[in-house]
Amino acid sequence: MVDPTGVERVLAPEDIIVSKTDPKGHLTYVNDTFIDISGYGDAELIGKPHNVIRHPEMPRAIFRLLWDTIKERQEIFAYVVNLSADGSHYWVLAHVTPSLDQRGTVIGYHSNRRSPSRAALREIIPLYAQLLREEKSHPNARAATDASSALLERILADRGQTYDEFVWELISQGEAAA
C-alpha cells in the first residue's frame, strides 16, 4: 500500500490516459501516459486490478456508481483522484465504457481520462470530502458505501440533477472558463 504524500501531479491538457480491463476490472492494456503518471511499469500493471491506483480519498460511493453504470452497459463520466506509485496524486475526468463482443457480451471496459478543469475540482473536492466524512462515520466498508451513496443521492436530488447531469454541468463550466 502506497501512502499519499499530498503532492499533486497534473496532466497536460493534451494528455490522454487510456486503459482497458477484463470484465472483472483487471488491466489488460495501459498506454504510455498511464505508465508515466502512475509511476508503475507495464509489467506492474497488466493483470492487476485497476484499483491498484485507487486513492484512499476517493469516495466508495463514486466507484459504486461507476460500476453499477458500466455493468448496465452504459457509459459514465466521473471525476476521480488516483494515487501514483510514489504517493503523489492526480485528478482525472474519466470516461468509462463497456467493451462488447459481436454477440453483445461484455468482454471488458475501456477508459479514457483527461485533465479536469480546476473549476470542476473546486466543486468536486468538497463534495468528495463530504462523502468521505460520511463513510468514515460507519463501521465497515459496506455500511460506509451504502451511507455515502445515499448521501450522494440526496445531494443530487436537492440539486435536481443526476450524477451525469452534475458532471456535464461541471464540464461545461470548465470549458466556458477556458
Looking at the structure of the chain, the number of domains it has is 1
CA 156 – CA 86 distance, rounded (Å):
34
Q: Are 31 and 83 in contact (CB under 8 A)?
A: no
Q: Please check whether residue 50 lies inside any domain of the structure.
A: yes
Q: Please check whether residue 76 lies inside any domain of the structure.
A: yes
Q: Please check whether residue 30 lies inside any domain of the structure.
A: yes
CA 24 – CA 22 distance, rounded (Å):
5
Q: How confident is the model over 10-23, as a mean pLDDT?
A: 96
Judged against a pLDDT cut of 60, whether residue 178 lies above it is answered with no
Q: Please check whether residue 93 lies inside any domain of the structure.
A: yes
Note the Cα 156 to chain centre separation in Å: 18
DSSP 10: -
Q: Please check whether residue 12 lies inside any domain of the structure.
A: no
pLDDT at residue 1 in the model: 79
Q: Please check whether residue 2 lies inside any domain of the structure.
A: no
pLDDT tens, position by position, 65-123: 999 999 999 999 999 999 999 999 999 999 999 999 999 999 999 999 999 999 999 99
Q: What is the CATH number of the domain that holds 151?
A: 3.30.450.20
Mean pLDDT (the chain) is 95
Q: Please check whether residue 122 lies inside any domain of the structure.
A: yes
Torsion of CA 159, 161, 82, 106, to 10 degrees: 160
CA 108 – CA 117 distance, rounded (Å):
28
Judged against a pLDDT cut of 70, whether residue 15 lies above it is answered with yes
Q: Are 21 and 94 in contact (CB under 8 A)?
A: no
Torsion of CA 122, 136, 27, 53, to 10 degrees: 60
Residue span of the structural domain in which 172 resides? 17-177
Q: Please check whether residue 11 lies inside any domain of the structure.
A: no
pLDDT at residue 151 in the model: 98
pLDDT at residue 11 in the model: 95
